[in-house]
Amino acid sequence: MSSLSPAIGPVRVRHFVGFPPEVAGPGETRQEMPDPSFLVIEEAADGVFLYRYDAYGKCAGDTWHASIEEAKGQAKYEYQDRLRDWIEIPSSVQDVTSFGLARSGEAK
């Protein structure tokens, strides 16, 4: 898990919900996801996922990666100097989102 400092200036990568305008059907719209406050990397049987969460614990995007190193590299590319140190989430934590919100609040 890593907290992010607030964005200053334009962001390098933006995440959206919905199809791009060129392939969207009638009445379908695409919305930009909020700026994340913290990131979580989760290793699963089908790959590694980099999850982004906003200041309210809502999903702010996710991407699939082949390794933890690749996910961390993507995070570094997207968030550059905003990225804080990565910390291990204790195995006793039941609610990763609440843990992330608490930690990102401490980092501000």
Q: What percent of the chain has pLDDT over 70?
A: 97
Q: Of 42, 95, 90, give the one whose Cα is nearest residue 64.
A: 42
What is the pLDDT confidence band of residue 9, given thresholds at 50, 70 and 90? confident
Query: What's the pLDDT band for 23 if we cut at 50, 70, 90?
Result: confident
pLDDT (tens digit, 9 = 90+) per residue, 31-83? 999 999 999 999 999 999 999 999 999 999 999 999 999 999 999 999 999 99
What CA–CA distance (Å, rounded) separates 79 from 75? 6
Pairing of β 2-3 and β 31-32: unpaired
Candidates 76, 102, 80, 77; CA nearest to 90 is 102
The per-residue pLDDT for range 79-97, each reduced to its tens digit, is 999 999 999 999 999 999 9
Give Dmax over CA atoms of the chain in angstroms. Answer: 47
Domain ranges across the chain: 2-107
Beta bridge partners, 43, equal: 48
